[in-house]
A and B are shown apart, each in its own frame.
Chain A
Amino acid sequence: MSVEPVILIEHLYKEYQTDAGAVPVLNDVALSVMPGEFVAIMGPSGSGKSTFMNILGCLDIPTSGRYLLNGRDVSAQSPDELANLRNQVIGFVFQGFNLLPRASIEDNVALPLIYRGADRGERIARAGEMLEKVGLAGHRHSHPNQISGGQQQRVAIARALVNQPRLILADEPTGNLDTHTSEEIMALFRELNQRDGITIVLVTHEPDIAASAQRLVRLADGRIVYDGPMSLAHAAIEAPA
């Protein structure tokens, strides 16, 4: 019995149109991520990892190639269907937290539920549950600017989890945090992966952070140069691109 991959990418290309002509960013990328995997994507700046992440998250569209998310061909989806995918299949965690500054912690966490059409009672209950999970139950009525960066990232993770997605995409989630807080956040990710079986794809440039993952994908100049277990990857991490 075969398990379907959460992410299946084949021959993916992405070019940006500039005045100087087309600039290739991703060049024949292939990737398959199975449910429950914890994958770290690494690479130097300009390697295309952010673009790759945006395509994985259905925020950007590839120039060509195939991308099956949860078995559905993303290129065949309408903008509204893409929004629904982002809402229910994917949970985003960003480097800059990306919380709404004017909304309370609870409202921030509940926001994806609004777009799913959940009623108020369910929204409050689910948001409370998620905040409990990330250890911020006492802050539900605070505002983002009243809590620390680490706490804000926890709120963002709670928001990402609120619709029970199969996949969490984290783009440099510890980029704005100190080492200690970073480790706490990574512990949370590991717990989500191991206990709840949530698939996680993480972009980072810090080897310590990437070490939480079981699998490493290394990008350079728009190509995958390494894809394998983290334990065998030290050479790949340390090696110059």
Chain B
Amino acid sequence: MIYAMLSEAWVAMGANRLRTFLTMLGMVIGVSAVILMLAIGQGTQQQVQASIASMGSNLFIILSGSVTSGGVRMGGGATPTLTLADATALEELPGVVAVAPTTPGTAQLVYGPNNWSTQVNGSTPSFLVVRDWRLSSGLPFTDSDIRSATRVALLGQTVATNLFGDEDPIGKTIRIKNSPYVVLGVLAAKGQSLDGRDQDDTVVVPVTTAQRKLFGSQFVGTVRFIMVQAESGEVMPAVEKSMNELLRQRHRIHEGSDNDFSVRNLTALANTAAETAKVMSLMLGAIASVSLLVGGIGIMNIMLVSVTERTREIGIRMAIGARSRDILLQFLLEAIIISVIGCLIGVILGIGGALAVSKATDMTVVVTLGPILMAFAVAASVGVFFGYYPAHKAAGMRPIDALRYQ
């Protein structure tokens, strides 16, 4: 019975190919738009999440500065107020996993005929812990390198490529600001950060080496910022509070005076970015869904016209024994077939479009089964929903009226 109805619906649709095609087109555009938009949205989301993961998790950054001297308020980081001793003290706080005091600077690197200018971070072995950064080859420097301020370096991928090309950098000596440094290891690639910087364009040296031999510092032992990793997301507020208290105490800041440092919760910022990406992805999906809805209304429109046009046919069918539900089923099936076939084409076009977008641009595009199944389910229900009213109208006709219709 269903099979017979299906083949009849097929014949009916074949009878007016252009109209069937145009009706389907609404569905095709709707579905492919939903799939494409969700693929782009999810791609963006995934990109943001990857960036967040590459930054390290549960991360605080404590910046020195913002001191007021004689009514003039200096910006953050203007005055080096944080020291290695501060970092050591912070390590003792409960809930703190790792602390990486860091002094960044820019320097020219030379190896053989190649040279490269990059950011050089003076830090401790904890740097790799808080940034969740592995070495792709070689070994990290150790606390003894910090104590002796040895001239050793870890190279980011970009730096390694620019200085060494295909050569293995481990154990080679490069020159930073004309002093020789031994390359101990190469950092694993991390890619772009949230703000689009190349995270791999960097070099890490022991913080003491940076302070004493590379950049010098205005005040002995100071660092520009300290990165702190907390145990978990839950303890972050408590850790933030105790860090503030500890540093105020250590810096002898009186009750009521401003801090000479500032604590930033990087994870919170990152989560905001992730939220934004998610909302954007949802919004894209919602906008695309509207076109799916419009496609559905298109189906209803055409089905209504078709029912009116085929009133006489409905009358004939009723005269030879079609029940109301047979007529209902017939028109409903036509609507469902149109929407399902339209959906299939839409899925193919949507996936194709997503692949084309990822080929043509740098955008990460993620096609997952979820949106495809969702689009399919929506298309089928749109077919039923918008096909039902015209089908119901057809089924409700009185045989005699339908048969007399000219």
Contact = CB atoms under 8 A, between A and B. Distances in A.
Contact of A98 (B3, B319, B325): B319
Nearest to A159: B320
Interface string A43-64: 0000000000010010110000
B400 A115 contact: no
Nearest to B14: A102
Contacts, number: 69
Nearest to B321: A87
Given A59-B403, A80-B324, A115-B326, A100 B319 contact: no
Contacts of A57: 319
A88 interface: yes
A165 to B, nearest CB: 10
Contact of A102 (B12, B322, B325): B12
Size class of the A contact interface (CB-based, 8 Å): 20 to 34
A132 B306 CA distance: 34
- Overall SS of chain B's interface: helix
A103 B11 contact: yes
Interface in A11-25: none
B18 interface: no
A79 B323 contact: yes
A102 B14 CA distance: 9
Contacts of B322: 83, 87, 115
Contacts of B326: 83, 115
Interface in B196-246: none
A123 B1 CA distance: 11
Interface in A87-116: 87-88, 92, 94, 98-100, 102-103, 107, 111-112, 114-116
A117 interface: yes
Contacts of A83: 318, 321-324, 326
A59 B316 contact: no
Contacts of B319: 57, 59, 86, 92, 94, 98
B315 to A, nearest CB: 8
* Interchain residue pairs A-B with the least CB separation, the first 5: A87-B321, A83-B323, A115-B321, A59-B400, A60-B400
Interface of B: 1, 3-5, 8, 11-12, 15, 312-313, 315-326, 399-400, 403
